[in-house]
Structure 1
């Protein structure tokens, strides 16, 4: 069970009906704990989600869980600390929402500031627009070209709106503004997170995901042997 402010999350790997029963018992224990400490939860605000392969979610009968005597609603997407989680962890809905929000904010800026020079653009864009596309990107960074292009299109349009930039290519605009591409920023962010994980900057449990590759075969053999030890979000950074 994880607690963050007034949010509570409980989870378990479900392989059979016995695992479902164990999770239900945990929910009962959690409900009792909340009552004991006068922090009663609201079952109508609580939901449950199965994260896994589509075939498993549709073929098998979904379990019904209860909290404090009330059935928990099933959901296919849920916002958690600013990140929209979906059952297959594709984050496509999250990406679409972030693109929509970033475009809305930049549209508001264009309507508010009738003239925007390079200095004011950089200040407003970096603080209000780009932050929408950067937040927690190490978790949801896209791997599909269509999603990468959709995200990059936000910065393409924004930089093109500046006076004198309309006829310049995207790389030329970035060079003048001294801006990196959004995909570069995501890769850089992944590398920073990877460094922190492998150097115990977070905690030893997080670092345990990454095992030493020293002294065990050729680089190619090491890569194949240890790829499964690396969280999927960082496999491209480590192996490429």
Structure 2
């Protein structure tokens, strides 16, 4: 028997007198439970990560062994850091994708426009899109590092090698990766609001009551953030609100996910990417 991926977390308020006592108390309960049921935790494999500028960074013990502190940790395939930025994950994902790109380049002497989508979508793109809603890059350097993978990959097709990047994408019927990430966000919002995901919409979003005469009836309310919370505005539940609210009624009002995908593709094809502001294309 194994007890894996067990996590404890607690938000310690600034100037709190307790300062993490709750977590130590929970660790003590876990130790007692593990001793009772003979399912002992390996304290040497446990890690503690301190987040936030006001964190007192106290130490914790599991039994008699102190838990080591980590600045970064891989959790279910995604790298988490103590500053909550996705830069490390972007670097790791880009490196994996680049390795796959080199292998394909060495293995196949000639790749045409018909075979490229099969290889690219199966072996390269999944590395830069795995669980991307959780680590969506927002720094320009990270966005460019991820987009660089697709830029290089599209040059595998000899007939397209000398053409500009945007033309290569059109020939191969591909979106820029930044657009694909936004498209994925919108699809996820549609599924959540229509009960197609096992999560209640209230856990992430608040419906707007100020629909007026513009926009659609599924508009979301955008929370006002406190100063200094720049990182928070890039979280999924915040970054997607403006783009979702600007979609027309005939796009968001469909019944199925496939219909939504088709409608949003048609909307962007007819109006161009100009309807999306602030992208680093």
TM-score, reference length from structure 1: 0.85
Deviation at 1:227, TM superposition (A): 4.0
Deviation at 1:11, TM superposition (A): 0.7
CA distance in 2 between counterparts of 1:116 and 1:216 reads 50
Flag the 1:192–1:225 CA change in 2: closer, same or farther, 3 A.
closer
Residue 90 of structure 1 is matched in structure 2 by 85
Residue 11 of structure 2 is matched in structure 1 by 13
CA distance in 1 between counterparts of 2:241 and 2:39 reads 43
The unaligned stretches of length 5 or more in structure 1 are: none
Flag the 1:45–1:107 CA change in 2: closer, same or farther, 3 A.
same
Q: Which has the higher helix share?
A: 1
Match of 2:164 among 166, 169, 194: 169
Aligned-CA RMSD value: 2.7
Question: Size of the alignment, in residue pairs?
Answer: 230
Flag the 1:91–1:225 CA change in 2: closer, same or farther, 3 A.
closer
Residue 212 of structure 1 is matched in structure 2 by 207
Flag the 1:214–1:231 CA change in 2: closer, same or farther, 3 A.
farther
Match of 1:134 among 126, 129, 135: 129
2:52–2:83 contact (8 Å) kept in structure 1:
yes
Flag the 1:9–1:205 CA change in 2: closer, same or farther, 3 A.
farther
The unaligned stretches of length 5 or more in structure 2 are: 226-231, 244-281
Residue 238 of structure 2 is matched in structure 1 by 235
CA distance in 2 between counterparts of 1:35 and 1:140 reads 37
1:83–1:94 contact (8 Å) kept in structure 2:
yes
1:34–1:41 contact (8 Å) kept in structure 2:
yes
Q: Answer with 39-48 or 11-20: which moved more.
A: 11-20
Q: Give runs of aligned pairs for residues 1-240 of structure 1, distance below 5 A.
A: 6-15=4-13, 16-53=16-53, 56-57=54-55, 60=56, 62-203=57-198, 207-215=202-210, 226-228=223-225, 232-240=235-243
